[in-house]
Structure 1
Amino acid sequence: MTSPRVAKPLLAGKRLLITGAARGLGLDFAQAACAAGARVVMADILDELVAQEAAALAEQGFEAVAVKLDLADPASVEAVAAFSAQTLGAVDGLVNCGAIATGIGGPDMCELEIDTWDRVMSVNVRGTWLMSRAMVPHLAASGAGRIVNIASDTALWGAPRLMAYVASKGAVISMSRSMARELGERNICVNCICPGLTLVEATAYVPRERHDHYINGRAIQREQMPEDVSGSVLYLLSDLAGFVTGQTLPVNGGFVFN
């Protein structure tokens, strides 16, 4: 008689670096990954907050450590990559969640400040590239590396009065495809998640009418929560997604179809 299979946690033994992990989606990804059996380095420019969150996970018996990361500083990016590899022994997956946004319903494209544009691009686009580049040797060494880039569905439908952020997330989508082509020969899968407007700290300022616009336009008409996104991220980090690369997945309750 064949013994029944014993299900393992989805990410059992996986070693991950998650950026933007102090709060919001990045924090939920870290918590979900730990619950799924992963060891996690949580990186964020909000160093005190990310340290508190990592400590809270460690107190629950999970393996999570924190490190400060400034995605606009190439030296900081390189230091975090080295710290992650040294702390974890090796790295199997990277989640590029760290980003900044300009205010939804803010200045239009003709009023947008050049300094704001440059800052958003420096963190969201260049920072994603720099973090991925720094992690490639470590992900390649794992034999089955994963990169999950967090973009936004705003880049798929063209949200108004959010030009710098929308442009930056469109670039992340395009970069993910190019990275997948280049890194496939190193057995690194690269994919992109496009969440919709999610109830997190960073969206607390968003006008009620924009939330209602999303809810009314979704096939599943309710607010989007962080846990609605985490399952897709965990899947793309797992062994189940070893032949999935270069893909863009909107996770937004059907506001945008792909």
Structure 2
Amino acid sequence: MAGRRIFVTGAARGLGLAFATAIAEAGATVAMADILQEPLRQSVADLQKRGFKVHGFPLDLGDPQSIEACARAAVERLGGLDGLVNNAAITNSGGRTSEQLEIPMWDKVMEVNVRGTWLMTNACLPALRASGRGSIVNLSSDTPLWGAPNLMAYVASKGAIIGMTRSLAREVGGDNITVNAVAPGLTLVEATEYVPKERHQTYHDRRAIQRDQVPEDVCGAVVFALSDLSRFITGQVIAVNGGFVMH
């Protein structure tokens, strides 16, 4: 990844921070964006203290103007863009049946996870085309691969990410841009603290590799999808879940 310029959304903590760290460790310069400004500031400072080239930018995926401003600032600071990791998302619908979901909740999940990913991608496409070796990695989830219950809005949004990945891969293949989705299983991060112990145990027991999944387990797939090792792989879904779902 030496010399690459990569933009990671939702990078203040959890999976996004793990991705930004792994990408920086592989030699790239990284733009990190998040709505959580203080955690982002601290994470950027911590990585800079380690000697990595990282920069932080505010981002609200629910606000189209924020998306445009963030993408523009990140591309300008990096001097171009070789890769985009669309990681930022919200869950919000956890623990509710389909009938218990409220329309505003559904709309907010779709606004951030689906529309936000679409708009951020569009904002970055000119710079990715100019790179000549652009890569987009969309974070989906294994939940739409097995039909996780009581999580309808989130599952639907992550299923949409898979469809968007495949469609966009065909649109931008002629620009030498690859577009792939990484679908993690239930990972031990702040965003999954709401998940009941029973669901964690189900994942643990039904995995081929029976242990908890941690952020570092997902980093290899993301770095691979951004690198020259995957230049002829596009429109694919890489499930990273220890064999819970064999996709």
Shorter-chain TM band: over 0.9
For residue 78 of structure 1, the aligned residue among 68, 88, 97 is: 68
Secondary structure at the residue paired with 2:195?
Answer: coil
CA distance in 2, matches of 1:107, 1:210: 14
4+ residue stretches of structure 1 with deviation over 4 A?
none
- The TM-score normalised by the length of structure 1 is 0.95
Structure 1: which 5+ runs fail to align? 1-10
Matches within 5 A, 1:1-258: 11-104=1-94, 106-258=95-247
* Contact 1:32–1:230 (Cα < 8 Å) also in 2: yes
Matched to 2:205, the amino acid is N
Q: What is the rounded CA distance, in whole Å, between the counterparts of 2:224 and 2:97 in structure 1?
A: 37
Deviations 1:179-199, CA, capped at 9 Å, x for gaps? 000010111100000000000
What TM-score comes out, normalization by structure 2 length?
0.99
Q: Deviation digits for residues 103-141 of structure 1, max 9, x if unmatched?
A: 53x121011011000000000000000000000000000
- What secondary structure sits across from 1:65 in the alignment? strand
The CA distance in 1 between the partners of 2:209 and 2:234, in whole Å, is 27
1:102 Cα deviation after fit: 2.3
Write the deviation string for residues 46-79 of structure 1: whole angstroms up to 9, x where unpaired. Answer: 0121111011111111000100100011111111
Q: Kindly, what percent of the aligned residue pairs are identical? A: 60
Q: Which residue of 2 aligns with 1:3?
A: none
> Which residues of structure 2 form unaligned runs of 5+?
none
In structure 2, how many angstroms separate the alpha carbons of the residues matched to 1:98 and 1:130?
12
Q: How many residues are matched?
A: 247
Select between 200-209 and 22-31 the one with higher mean Cα deviation: 200-209
Aligned-pair CA distance for 1:81 = 1.1
Q: Report Cα offsets for 1:186-232 as digits up to 9, x if no partner.
A: 11100000000000011112111110000111110110000000000
Larger Rg: 1
CA distance in 1, matches of 2:225, 2:216: 15
Paired with 2:143 and 2:29, the residues of 1 have a C-alpha distance of 31
Q: Is the 8 A contact 1:94 1:147 kept in 2?
A: yes
SS at match of 1:225: coil
